[in-house]
A and B are shown apart, each in its own frame.
Chain A
Amino acid sequence: MGMEDMKKFGLMAACSVLALAATTSLATANDELVEMQQNAKNWVMQLGNYSATRYSELEEINKDNVGDLQVAWSFSTGVLRGHEGGPLVIDGVMYVHTPFPNKVFALDLNDNGRIIWRYEPEQDPNVIPVMCCDTVNRGVAYGDGKIILHQADTNVVALDAKTGEELWKTQNGDPSKGETGTMSPLIAGDKVLVGNSGGEFGVQGHMTAYNLETGEQEWRAYSVGPDDQILLDPENTTHLGEPVGENSSVDTWEGDQWQLGGGTVWGWVSYDPELNLVYYGSGNPGTWNPAQRPGDNRWSMTIFARDLDTGVAKWVYQMTPHDEWDYDGVNENILVDMEIDGEQRKVLFHPDRNGFAYTLDRETGELLVAAKYDPAVNWATEVVMNEDDEQYGRPQVVAEYSTAQNGVDVNSEGICPAALGTKDQQPSAYSPETGLFYIPTNHVCMDYEPFQVSYTAGQPYVGATLSMYPAPDSHGGMGNFIAWDAAAGEIVWSVEEPFSVWSGALATAGDIVFYGTLEGYLKAVDMETGEELYRFKTPSGIIGNVNTYEHDGKQYVAVLSGIGGWAGIGLAAGLTEGTDGLGAVGAYQSLSDYTQLGGQLTVFSLPSE
């Protein structure tokens, strides 16, 4: 970006001095993590590596012996809430986090998991009820000798990885307005990238970069708002190959509604060091009542590709314009290279809440594939792939399931997927051996009735009633674990699950894929066929992500148990039974018959010979 362009961004000009100063330390921190992520013995970031593949080259535990897996050791976190995310492992030390009050433990793997240090922040408990759907936290991040914790009250804290000493602390949002912290930060280069939660409170979503050394803010990019706030360059930022133009966000909202516009950033971030681009998605527009916010509501429900150094977006893609169903676009973006239509492409794969799995060129944002990854998905017939069509890139909404077309105070029935999405934040895995994606999914549909609501700062700003039930005319369960061919846009195999699969998957060179279930099982399945090879019931439901590491020449698999999150709230008592007319199959059972609150890390290994 030249100096002329720089002048367009008031915000950026203010940051340019900082950005310049930071360049000196960029190389060290950047190179360290780029290298560390390739060491399969460690698990240095939540999604395993910058490409977010959740794939490990470890193969001691494999298809032939995984049936012998045993619990090696376990650890109670002392917190009985929804445990999302997972532990990091760096050179013999494991870092375990908890939901609110957001404790962090450093465990010594050389000394039977002895606690080296612990950290527990002081937080105002009034943040608890403004967290939508439990006090989850998706894990800490590591970089340059520091552990970065993103607290519920939005404080971002840097701890010395060796001692737990607090090095810096900065406030990322205002909980009194409903802004909270749940997402795991990503450290890329010399920056800590972190977003905000609070899409149900009318907050303005943002992604912010802090300096890893000092905690100083380097840039902040809102999802909705004026150009200088969203860091979109009208001429050079593209949407489906075309420049976005001026006021690309505010022109798609009525009046000042964008100020309550949501687009919060609470999912996962991935990073391509070669392109120097970071990728993440934005959440739902506020409110859930579409009648109160006419327009496309850009850039909610959008994948952003932003320059790491400046925050300016290279391209954006909005998956669900004018959302009518709460299909947040925050799910993981997995960066792989694959052949599509005979051509080798650098792609970004994104299985969206809205039930379509998108494959895009991550350099240009060109849309390559968009296909339903659950046959139950019915709210749209297709995403238009013809570049010459004025509907290019847009989902073709089915009137019957359009809560906007049906209108306020009308109950739209039988919409698939439910607001939970065909999947939520639970991250998928990718295996370079099979070229397939392994996706934990929900198989749930809903009735949705929007109505008028008022905004009060710090109060829920929802505006819809919904009932959820297992997908009708199917297997009666609420979830599937699937293998997906992203080039063809096809399901390769699918394992039926009684409950939504709300746990992040792990694929390994041992030709197996691991995932957890809401009843509390850790399962291992054959990568090629989906055949179950191992299961063990942990003390509580699993909404955490499965990790693996090697210590003293032995491979371990680790996962957090602790039912909660949206899964714990929506499913604890069981969902409402589908109406007879919709033909829901099977008696519906409640999750509370299977599991109770918990907070435990369970670590598995093969028996010693």
Chain B
Amino acid sequence: MNYLMSAATGFCGAMLLFTAASLAPAQAQDEAVDWEDKPYIVEDGKVDYGTYNGFRRYHNTCHTCHGPDGMGSTFAPALVNSLKDMSYADFAATVANGRSSSGASGNSVMPAFGDNVDVMLYIDHIYAYLKARADDAVGRGRPDRIDPENDPVFQEWQANQ
């Protein structure tokens, strides 16, 4: 966690971002199709650390437009629907690069989060959470966590810090 703490205090954010950006796709490839289809663990209604942290990070940055629990708002689409058929690569690219469109309600613009460490460091976690929501594997509100000792995702995350 020291690693993360230092990110907040200065301009080493750019360096961290580099690490994160190169890390995420590699993970996706290693774990191939399985992880992308089911990037979360839900046991007895409890979720792994990634899904849990994805909930937190989603509600730090994304929910101000996409609404609580990925349910959408008057301003931006419901990601519980979008993630039903969006690939991890498309998801990550959209988050990193943003997108814009125009429709009946005027311009709709999503910003690029590519240089936001609070998003890009946890892009896999946010994906896991939203995918779990899209699959209806996790309900609304704050999910309970699997005991860290029995949580392989947390063990792996901690080992990498």
Contact = CB atoms under 8 A, between A and B. Distances in A.
Interface string B119-161: 1000000000000000000001110000000000000000000
A82 B142 contact: no
A447 interface: yes
A94 B121 CA distance: 50
Interface in A443-486: 447, 449, 451-456, 459-460, 462-468
A573 B73 contact: yes
Contacts of B73: 568-570, 572-573
B71 interface: yes
Interface stretch (A9-17, A126-134, A142-150, A601-609): A126-134
Interface of B: 4-5, 7-8, 13, 16, 55-57, 59-61, 63-65, 67-69, 71-75, 78, 98, 100, 104-111, 113, 115-119, 140-142
B106 A572 contact: no
Contact of A81 (B61, B72, B106): B106
A538 to B, nearest CB: 16
Given A454-B16, A459-B116, A570-B67, 19 more contacts: A80-B105, A82-B74, A125-B107, A128-B109, A129-B109, A292-B8, A447-B142, A451-B60, A452-B4, A454-B7, A454-B117, A459-B115, A465-B57, A465-B142, A468-B68, A569-B64, A569-B65, A572-B67, A577-B140
Q: Which 9 A-B pairs have the closest CB atoms?
A: A573-B71, A568-B74, A80-B105, A129-B111, A465-B59, A569-B73, A576-B141, A459-B116, A128-B109
A519 B140 CA distance: 23
B56 A449 contact: yes
14 contacts: A128-B108, A133-B75, A134-B75, A451-B60, A452-B5, A453-B118, A456-B116, A459-B119, A460-B60, A464-B60, A569-B64, A572-B67, A576-B142, A597-B74
Contacts of A90: none
Interface residues of A, number: 47
Nearest to A79: B106
A200 interface: yes
A236 B55 CA distance: 48
Contacts of B61: 460, 462
A539 interface: no
Contacts of B142: 411, 447, 465, 467, 576
B56 A451 contact: yes
A190 B140 CA distance: 52
B7 A569 contact: no
A126 B111 CA distance: 7
A575 interface: yes
